Amino acid sequence: MPHITTSAGPIPTAPPCGPATPGFRPNWGLAAVLVLAAFLLFYNLGQRPFWQDEAETACLAKSVLETGLPYAYDGVNVVSQEEEREFDKVGGYLWRWSPWIQIYLQATGFAVGGLNAFAGRAPFALAALLAVFWTYRLVARHFGDRTWALMAATLLTLCVPYLLIGRQARYYAPGTLFVLWTLDAFLSDWQRRAGPIVAMFGGMILLFHANYLLFLSFAPTALAAALFVYPEKFHLRRLSVLAGATVAVAVVPGIMLYRIGRQSGMFDILLVPENLMLYFADLSMFCIPLPISVYLAWRWRRFFTRLERPAEAGERFVLFATVLIVLSLLFLGLVPQRFFRYIAHLLPLCAILLAYLVRRLWDFSKVSAVMLFCLLAFTNWLAVYPMERLKIVNRPWQNDFRMLTSLNFPIKLFVTELVCGYPDVNTSIIDFFKTNAKPGQTIVAEYGDLPLQFALDGVRVVGGLQGPVPADVRPDWVLRRRVVRVNRDRFLFGAREFTDSLDLTRDFERVPLPLPDETFGNRTDDPNHHYFIPVEAPQKALEIWRRKEASQ
């Protein structure tokens, strides 16, 4: 194989594409990966009920099925997690806080499969499956290396954080797919052809309406990364038209529709250093192991000091992906709230990067390449162990040693949960109130109010993060949770204030329940908090109180 000498040393070029052969030639490797991905994404997809954030989307999707638009009030319950900032009551409770694509995707799932968790999550799992295919397609199409493409798709398929967000009824998987779509178009001949630039425009529009924070963290950072790594690809006139059209069609109307300006007041400069530290910890723990980051920084040291770019096309794209990832994290550090889900769309790029390193290592040492691939695909040792040795691991205090923040075989944990199930706290809560609560009764729930709203018909559910509990509320049931929550101003949420004001021992009786009170339930969007195997006793039991006359 021929070699190209760059400032970073000799590297082998990607193997050329073989000559086209007539007729259809099945790609059995890709087919096997997609079948595996489909199993991991769809199997037992409805085994856990919607957790709080998913249930927000689900309640709004029910409104879409009834009215055609996402309204946050159905005549009984109000959908809110931001103390009723998400809508104007005088405007009919029209949802104006987050973009609507995820709502309409979930409504489509409900229309096809009914009002259940599997149907509500299926469109998002399908988007995650398409993203696995698009990861393969992007590499194979633009760099002609099917082995690299197949390894990238395989690493993404076996990436447990990606599987967790792919099984979530939120914007994460569609947003990831739109990012890949846009990058695929960028690598095409958009400077001269109409098709790729139209595809880039469509990708940007869809990305904005999937989640405008995702759009804002991706579009400018991708542009900056391209300017650094691919300056020859710039066509100023076409780029100006693309940017102007995107702003005119998506950004300006979106600012008014989603009232983006109202959320700008959350910015807090004091949070930026901590956010950056935690994002880079998450990147090292779940995306790109620290030793690999150190190696890449050394290999590309002349790019970072002199802007000397690799000559080989594959390595140059991997460098572009790395710069994009770093710039995205720097941008997201400015956002006051920090969640792993904000970087989930970067996971395919991480898989492509890691697969590239394995592919190049294969040309020097096949045994070493196989060992590296197995470490990356089946363990998290390379990610967690260096962080622990350096004492910079970010492990939440409540975690145990069977979670992704400890040395483990992640895919084994994931499959164990799929096959054996998990006693989700929202399942316990929903089953209890389906059996005991009657239509017309009122439940005050300190958290988990939205899963109850979705699951119960004719029962009023208040509390959660909705804000102050209305003065006229006389609850028949009270659900107290072990975690005390405060709002953005560090004051108690209204639900806790309200339950603290009640004389529970006088007016209510506690229902004895041996069910553990976990914090979130199916919070699959954060690998720091996801439980695959139930935690042993002792655990604090769910605290449910029933008004005394309600039990007579």
pLDDT digits (tens, 9 = 90+) for 113-141: 999 999 999 999 999 999 999 999 999 99
The mean pLDDT value for 96-122 works out to 96
Share above pLDDT 70 across residues of the chain, in percent, rounded to a whole number: 92
Q: Of 173-177, 511-515, 519-523, which has the strongest mean pLDDT?
A: 173-177
Q: Which of 86-100, 312-326, 384-398, 527-541 has the lowest mean pLDDT?
A: 384-398
Q: Is the dihedral of CA 57, 58, 59, 65 positive or negative?
A: positive
The mean pLDDT value for 472-477 works out to 93
Other Cβ atoms within 10 Å of 114 Cβ, number: 10
The tokens for 89 are 């009551």
Q: Give the integer Cα–Cα distance in Å for 394 and 281.
A: 7
| pLDDT at residue 423, as a whole number | 87
Residues 151 and 214 both lie in one domain: yes
Computed over every residue of the chain, the mean pLDDT equals 89
Domain boundary, last residue among 313, 347, 373: 373
Place of tokens 């259809």: 24
Residues 173 and 306 both lie in one domain: yes
- Domain assignment present for residue 103? The answer is no
C-alpha angle 523-179-348 in degrees, rounded to nearest 5: 65
| pLDDT at residue 368, as a whole number | 95
Domain boundary, last residue among 373, 388, 410: 373
| pLDDT at residue 349, as a whole number | 97
| pLDDT at residue 7, as a whole number | 39
- Domain assignment present for residue 220? The answer is yes
Please compute Rg for the chain using Cα positions.
25
Residues 369 and 429 both lie in one domain: no
- Domain assignment present for residue 517? The answer is yes
Residue 265: is it exposed, middle or buried by C-beta count within 10 angstroms (0-12/13-18/19+)?
exposed
Residues 225 and 346 both lie in one domain: yes
Residues 290 and 159 both lie in one domain: yes
Q: Give the integer Cα–Cα distance in Å for 449 and 430.
A: 10
Which residues does 282 contact at the CB level (< 8 Å), separation at least 6?
340, 343, 394, 528
- Domain assignment present for residue 60? The answer is no
- Domain assignment present for residue 28? The answer is no
- Say if residue 199's pLDDT is above 50: yes
Q: Which of 112-121, 137-146, 225-234, 351-360 has the lowest mean pLDDT?
A: 225-234
Residues 352 and 494 both lie in one domain: no
How far, rounded to the nearest angstrom, does the alpha carbon of residue 416 sit from its chain's CA centroid? 21
The tokens for 310 are 């690799």
pLDDT classification of 2: cutoffs 50, 70, 90: very low
- Say if residue 24's pLDDT is above 80: no
Domain span at residue 207 reads: 121-373
The tokens for 501 are 């004001």
- Say if residue 253's pLDDT is above 50: yes
- Say if residue 344's pLDDT is above 90: yes
| pLDDT at residue 336, as a whole number | 79
| pLDDT at residue 267, as a whole number | 63
| pLDDT at residue 454, as a whole number | 96
Share above pLDDT 90 across residues of the chain, in percent, rounded to a whole number: 68
Other Cβ atoms within 10 Å of 205 Cβ, number: 18
The mean pLDDT value for 405-425 works out to 93
CB 353 within 8 A of CB 318: yes
- Domain assignment present for residue 310? The answer is yes
- Say if residue 516's pLDDT is above 90: no
Residue from 291, 287, 535, 277 nearest 394 by CA: 277
Q: Which of 1-5, 68-72, 384-388, 526-530 has the lowest mean pLDDT?
A: 1-5
Listed in order, strand segments (DSSP E) in 385-516 are 442-445, 460-463, 477-480, 508-511
Q: Give the integer Cα–Cα distance in Å for 331 and 140.
A: 30
- Domain assignment present for residue 521? The answer is yes
How far, rounded to the nearest angstrom, does the alpha carbon of residue 82 sit from its chain's CA centroid? 20
Residues 163 and 272 both lie in one domain: yes
Residues 436 and 351 both lie in one domain: no
Residues 179 and 325 both lie in one domain: yes
Q: Give the integer Cα–Cα distance in Å for 233 and 185.
A: 12
Residues 463 and 365 both lie in one domain: no
Q: Which of 174-188, 266-280, 339-353, 392-406 has the lowest mean pLDDT?
A: 392-406
- Rounded to a whole number of angstroms, the distance between the first and last alpha carbons of the chain is 83
- Domain assignment present for residue 365? The answer is yes
Q: What is the pTM of this model?
A: 0.91
pLDDT classification of 4: cutoffs 50, 70, 90: very low
Residues 162 and 303 both lie in one domain: yes
Q: Give the integer Cα–Cα distance in Å for 82 and 93.
A: 14
Q: Give the integer Cα–Cα distance in Å for 342 and 346.
A: 9
Buried-state track 16-33, b at ≥16 Cβ within 10 A, e below 16: eeeeeeeeeeeeebbeeb
Per the structure, the count of domains in the chain is: 2
Residues in the chain: 552
Residues 357 and 453 both lie in one domain: no
Domain boundary, last residue among 373, 395, 411: 373
Which residues does 431 contact at the CB level (< 8 Å), separation at least 6?
none
